[in-house]
Structure 1
Amino acid sequence: MTRHIYSCPLRWSDMDAFGHVNNVVFLRYLEEARIDFMFRLAPGDGSPSFSGGSVVARHEIDYVRPLVHRHEPVTIESWVTKISAASLTIAYEVKDPDQVYVRASTVVVPFDLEAQRPRRISAEEKSFLQEYTDDSEPGALAA
């Protein structure tokens, strides 16, 4: 099982009044990692996979430790914990090598923008996602 690794910069504006990254900002971090995973790493040159749109159906976040602002980026590891006919669940850890700050999961539904309705996951998309699938990972959140 492969994990997608995203190096996420911390911005001064991410801090709250207490000097650590605000809880809402973590959703933006997860979005950045998810977009990097689903779009930049989509299979095939010129492949339409993942380019038709998707919507978030659910987020679940466990805040493990405060993350204070610093100049070094934080690592976000992402992997797939569930693939169904018309949705997938992505799990994440926002971390440094020796510390986890957040564990989270997102249910993503592929979406047909033209028809304005959910669509099924294509065979090409499923094949790509299966390379990153691990439903038994300790610490992963269930969706």
Structure 2
Amino acid sequence: MSERPTEADFGYFFEIPTRWSDCDMLGHVNNARYFTFDESARLDYFAPLIGNDAAFWRKAGFILARIECDFIAQVHHPAQIRFGFRLRRIGRSSMNTEGGMFIDGKLVAVTRGVLVWFDYENAKAVSVPEHVKAFIRSRERIAPEEAS
């Protein structure tokens, strides 16, 4: 596992209150929910870019290629999760994401994913557009690594 993120690493946060339905039989938030939390933060992060563009998901946009999670501490309901989300790297057609889930300043989980900029009409990966790179750069506290 790479170095664990801190709240200071993130320029964007998404607040997530846990729900009773997030819990499993052991009384903690079920591990599958962490991926839903990541999805919610990811979509909110990109919402200003997507806007009301009806073609975004039909013509070109990102697609999730990989996701993983390091579970660091149990989360019990009720809890308020402060989910930091960032893009660590922008490649030619892929982008590496990282999410840090914090409760009262304590890191409880880390998600890492790979997004691919995707041409939905031709079902293939394409280069990340410059306006998308500029959008990401404007949101990040720590500049993402970029492929040359």
TM-score (norm 1): 0.81
Residues 59, 120 of structure 1: alpha-carbon distance in 2 compared, 3 angstrom cutoff:
same
Q: Is the 8 A contact 1:80 1:133 kept in 2?
A: no
The match for 1:98 is 105
Q: How many equivalent residue pairs?
A: 133
1:122 equivalent in structure 2: 129
1:84 aligns with 2:91: yes
Q: CA RMSD in A?
A: 2.5
More helix by share: 2
Provide the rounded CA distance (Å) in 2 between the counterparts of 1:135 and 1:63: 26
Q: Could you tell me the percent identity over the aligned residues?
A: 23
| One-letter identity of the residue aligned with 2:21 | S
- Change in Cα spacing, 1:114 to 1:37, as seen in structure 2 (3 Å) is same
The alpha carbon displacement at 1:3 in A equals: 1.6
Instruction: Flag structure 2 segments of 5+ consecutive residues without an equivalent.
Output: 1-8
Closer, same or farther: CA 81–49 of 1 in aligned 2, 3 Å: farther
Letter in 2 for 1:112: D
SS at match of 2:34: helix
Q: Check the 8 A contact 1:81/1:133 in 2, yes or no.
A: no
- CA distance in structure 2 between the partners assigned to 1:23 and 1:90 by the alignment: 19
- 1:102 is aligned with what amino acid? A
- Per-residue displacement from partner, 1:90-120 (whole Å, max 9, x unpaired)? 1110112321110111110011111111221
